[in-house]
Amino acid sequence: MEEKLRQLKDKALRELERVSDLNSFRDLEIKYLGRKGELAEILKSIPSLNGEEKKIFGALGNEIKNELAKKFEEKRIFFGGKRERGFIDITLPGEKIEGGHLHPITLVQNDLENIFTSMGFMILDGPELESDYYNFEALNIPPYHPARDMQDTFYIARTDADGTGVSDLVLRTHTSPVQIRAMQKYGAPFRGVVPGRVFRSENIDASHEHTFYQMEGLMVDKDISIDNLIFTLKQLLNGIFKRAVDTRIRPGYFPFVEPGIELDIKCALCGGAGCPACKHSGWLELLPAGMVHPNVLRAGGIDPDIYSGFAFGLGLTRLAMMKYGIEDIRLFNGGDLRFLKQF
């Protein structure tokens, strides 16, 4: 073994001495130091030797390998004039590149978008930094109206170029302002959904976050009734859960709809028995909705004597929690890969 190693070394050094250009140098490097080169062939048999021999020849093999690597490197510099980043064995298999994947909220959002585009709804975006007017006033919530207390708002101070300060901006507390923007831009008839990120100044716990997702829906046309609304909401739930889910409908108050309803689904986490996620009621508020208030249609430039409409404000984050059985809302924005990789 020792003999073999030394012979190989001498032979390699002799040939290295004679090599006259970079290309033949590279061939030689592969021949002796490559992954399937002559040195590797000999080294391969070392692990099967007995204890003492393994130690001796292992050390010798390494020594010779390092010595040859050094000499080859010197020669490379001699030919190339500059040092390359070591030997690249192009026969090695490539590194596995880890594929990314979609966030659970995005998965649910994509499903919803498919359901709604199949029913002829368009998909819209709106600004996350919104004016007080669109976020509240145009939605029938004037300043000082107690309904403002329903949403803990981040008011944003703005300083204009002339130095005067105003605070007519808010981080939007819901996706509803896009109802007004959509009506102003597209008029009636209209059908659209608005998935998006919204913000509230919340005390954070397992079911409250300062940043979460909603999906607004709006349909305006002649003779739209609450039947159209309920049918659409049920289509939505069947499409997402792909099974029958228990629902109940209660009256609900929102200034921008009249009448307003709350569609609850039976809590998927506890099956209706009661748990912290459903505040021990067995039901979860998932889909607040209603018939668009005439003042809101007017703010959107639509005549409420001719047109009517329905709107809903789906809790996208909450829906994702129900669909996947996620018990803590903080996981969504936490960035913990152990959580995210499960989807």
Footprint of ligand DAH on residues 240-259 (CB under 6 A)? 254, 257
CB of 288 to ligand DAH, least distance (A): 3
Alpha helices (H) in 253-293, listed in sequence order: none
Count of helix runs (H) and strand runs (E) in the chain = 12, 10
Cis before 259? omega within 30: yes
Q: Which of 121, 199, 313, 322 binds ligand DAH (CB under 6 A)?
A: 313
Footprint of ligand DAH on residues 56-85 (CB under 6 A)? none
Q: Which of 104, 177, 196, 290 binds ligand DAH (CB under 6 A)?
A: 290
Answer for the pair 68, 9: CB distance below 8 angstroms, yes or no.
yes
Bridge partners, residue 220, by sequence? 190, 309
Answer for the pair 178, 124: CB distance below 8 angstroms, yes or no.
yes
Residue number, nearest CB to ligand DAH? 313
CB of 341 to ligand DAH, least distance (A): 31
Footprint of ligand DAH on residues 175-234 (CB under 6 A)? 176, 216
Cα atoms in the 13 Å half-sphere on the side-chain side of 92: 9
Sheet holding 129-131, edge to edge: 129-131, 165-171, 155-159
CB of 117 to ligand DAH, least distance (A): 19
Measured from the CB atom, is 37 or 288 closer to ligand DAH?
A: 288
CB of 92 to ligand DAH, least distance (A): 55
Measured from the CB atom, is 68 or 289 closer to ligand DAH?
A: 289
Answer for the pair 219, 310: CB distance below 8 angstroms, yes or no.
yes
Q: 3-class DSSP state for residue 136?
A: coil
Measured from the CB atom, is 195 or 313 closer to ligand DAH?
A: 313
- What tokens does 234 get? 């049920």
Q: Which of 104, 126, 196, 288 binds ligand DAH (CB under 6 A)?
A: 288
- Which segment (40-48, 184-192, 266-274, 305-313) binds ligand DAH by CB under 6 A? 305-313
- Which segment (25-33, 94-102, 154-162, 311-319) binds ligand DAH by CB under 6 A? 311-319
Q: Which of 5, 8, 289, 296 binds ligand DAH (CB under 6 A)?
A: 289
Rg (CA), the chain: 34
Q: Give the distance between the most distant pair of CA atoms in the chain.
A: 103
- Which segment (158-166, 185-193, 273-281, 308-316) binds ligand DAH by CB under 6 A? 308-316
Question: Which amino acid belongs to residue 136?
Answer: F
Residue with tokens 């668009």: 292
CA 32 – CA 286 distance, rounded (Å): 69
What does residue 237 show for φ and ψ, rounded to 5 degrees?
-65, -40
104 in contact with ligand DAH (CB under 6 A): no
What single-letter DSSP state applies at residue 123? E
Size of the site for ligand DAH (CB under 6 A): 12
Footprint of ligand DAH on residues 127-186 (CB under 6 A)? 174, 176
Interface residues toward ligand DAH, by CB under 6 A: 174, 176, 216, 254, 257, 260, 288-290, 311-313
